[in-house]
Amino acid sequence: MLPQEIIRVKRDGGRLNEAQIQRFIQGVTSGAVTEGQIAAFCMAVLFRGMDLDERVALTLAMTRSGTVLDWKPLNLPGPILDKHSTGGVGDKVSLILAPAIAACGGFVPMISGRGLGHTGGTLDKLDSIPGYVSLPDRTTLERVIRDAGCAIIGATDAFAPADKRVYAVRDITATVESLDLITASILSKKLAAGLDALVMDVKFGSGAFMAEFDDAVALAESIVTVATGAGMPTVALLTDMNEVLGRTAGNALEVRESIDLLTGAGHDPRLYEVTAALSAELLVLGGLCPDTAAARTRFDDVISSGAAAERFGRMVSALGGPADLMENPDRYLASAPVVREVHADASGSIAAIDTRALGVAVVALGGGRSRVQDPIDPAVGLSAVAGLGAAAGPQGSPQSGPLAIVHARSEDEAEAAADAVRAAFTIGAPAPVPTSPVARRLAH
């Protein structure tokens, strides 16, 4: 069937069968399908939607458009596991979860991405480690997975190339929001990694792409049902992004916070809770623990014993980074020349945070990209970011700390960031009632 006929079926509200979807995606990969036809297909899907069978077929067709990793020849003594997040400000969970799962007996080939919009990217964080190679060749990847148990890397063009082409068109044709296409895009790359199980961190709130809770639930349900239908057991947790996850936002700063948690130098309770909850689900899915209570205890043990920190250090060294990063992080992680505390103009409790605005402030400092070709400054960002309910007030006022500490390249940039930080916080009374950062669990 010609591409335009496949488009016509979906445009008119019809259901596409597996063969039609495979043929269209094969054309996307080979170049036989034009950008105009991709755009028309995406718009038809956006307006007409897909049922579960169509979503599974689209996801599998995109997965098979390129390399699909097979770990069986390595005879690894544990399951292949991974986690994916829809992105948020200060989200550094991957840096902690991957080595923790490895220390528990799992193997984690984590394919991660760059920053997108106001959210930071895991690869951008790791690029702040000197020498770290985020796009290793296949032989190196297999060696690191076998020896360290985890490798956080980027996707090469060999992984789901059809998705890369489709996404580029979606980005310029107002079809990014399609739940069907989002699901296929996320899962095609995860299935290509040859996983035995996946845990999804679907975020909601002011710092998330899916700001509305109901939209996040719909995405989580779609991902769980499609992933399970494609043969990959998956659980999704909906987590709160109405405040920064952890106390930092910015690449080297987030790596340092992750190292501090792994080595016991200090940790933020919300960051620890989200990471522990996701890790526990993954350990159960992979058959490494009988239930989430046992899995949570196992996670706590590998953190407190330093076993997870040892795995992170081993991964970094095996991928070209410094062998003593965990012992001497400040020797290698970049620091900004201008560091300034930002205080509130009035005293009270923090009642609300525009978390997205904090992410945008980090991008403006140079910690993210406004354009694809923009360089990343690893040193800039925010630290000591206050959370909901914290006391705030002018500098010198009793029992109140800063809203955040700005790390900038210049005084002018620090001043602009300080203004953005103050505008992002709402000071009021009384303090909001604390809530769990994990709002809901979804499983098929």
Q: How does pLDDT run across 44-94, given as a tens digit for each residue?
A: 999 999 999 999 999 999 999 999 999 999 999 999 999 999 888 999 999
Of the residues 122, 175, 222, 263, which is catalytic?
122
Determine the residue type at 105. G
What does the DSSP assignment read for 406-422? EEESSHHHHHHHHHHHH
170 is catalytic: yes
Q: In this structure, how many other beta carbons lie within 10 angstroms of the beta carbon of residue 157?
A: 9
- pLDDT for 373 equals 65
What is the per-residue pLDDT across 347-365, written as a single tens digit (0 to 9) for each?
999 999 999 999 999 999 9
Largest CA distance in the chain: 73
Instruction: Give me the count of residues in the chain.
Output: 444
Q: Nearest 5°: phi and psi at 260?
A: -60, -40
In the sheet with 234-240, reading across from the earlier edge strand, the strands are 81-85, 197-204, 234-240, 438-443
pLDDT value at 337 more than 90: yes
- Asked whether residue 119 carries a pLDDT value surpassing 90, the answer given is no
Q: In the annotation, is 85 catalytic?
A: yes
Look at strands 425-428 and 348-353 and give their pairing. antiparallel
Q: Which two tokens stand for residue 412?
A: 């002018």
How far is the CA of 95 from the CAs of 150, 282, 305, in angstroms? 10, 15, 17
Out of 170, 247, 296, 311, which one is annotated catalytic? 170
Specify whether the CB–CB gap between 155 and 163 falls below 8 A.
Answer: no
Q: What is the structure's pLDDT at 444?
A: 82
Among 174-183, 247-256, 324-333, the minimum mean pLDDT is found in 174-183
Q: What is the pLDDT of residues 266-309, one digit of tens each?
A: 889 999 999 999 999 999 999 999 999 999 999 999 999 999 99
Angstrom distances, CA of residue 393 to CA of 275, 341, 381, 405, 415: 31, 12, 21, 14, 18
Query: What DSSP element (H or E) covers 82?
Result: strand 81-85
Residue-wise pLDDT for 15-56, tens only, equals 999 999 999 999 999 999 999 999 999 999 999 999 999 999
Quickly state the pLDDT bin for 372 (edges 50, 70, 90): low
Catalytic residue among 128, 178, 185, 258: 185
Q: Give 168's pLDDT tier (boundaries 50, 70, 90).
A: confident
Q: Which amino acid is at 33?
A: V
**Comparing C-alpha atoms, which of 362, 366, 409 is closest to residue 385?**
362
Measured in degrees and rounded to the nearest 5, phi and psi for residue 153 equal -135, 175
Domains delineated in the chain: 3-63 (1.20.970.10), 72-156+174-329 (3.40.1030.10), 334-428 (3.90.1170.30)
pLDDT value of position 366: 92
Q: Per the residue annotation, which of 10, 23, 64, 83 is the catalytic one?
A: 83
Q: Which of 63, 67, 85, 355 is catalytic?
A: 85
Window from 216-225, 239-248, 407-416, 427-436 with minimum mean pLDDT = 427-436
Q: By three-state DSSP, how is residue 124 classified?
A: helix
What's the rounded Cα separation, in Å, for the pair 44 and 41? 5
Q: Which two tokens stand for residue 281?
A: 């689900």
Q: 92, 189, 256, 296: which is the annotated catalytic residue?
A: 189
What is the percent of the chain with per-residue pLDDT over 70, rounded to a whole number? 98
Backbone dihedral region of 250: left (phi > 0), alpha (psi from -120 to 50 degrees) or beta?
left
What is the percentage of the chain residues whose pLDDT exceeds 90? Answer: 84
Name which of 368, 366, 374, 365 is nearest 415 in CA terms. Answer: 365
Given the DSSP bridges, would you call strands 404-408 and 381-383 parallel, antiparallel or unpaired? antiparallel
∠ CA 221-225-227, nearest 5°, is 115
What is the band of 400 on the pLDDT scale with cuts at 50, 70, 90?
A: confident
Residue 120: band (very low, low, confident or very high) from pLDDT cuts 50, 70, 90 = low
Quick check: is 122 catalytic?
yes
Task: Decide if 189 is catalytic.
Answer: yes
Long-range own/partner contacts, residues 416-419 (CB < 8 A, 24 or more apart): 416/364, 417/342, 417/361, 417/364, 417/365, 417/382, 418/340, 418/342
Annotation marks residue 94 as catalytic:
no
Query: What number is the average pLDDT over the span 220-239?
Result: 95
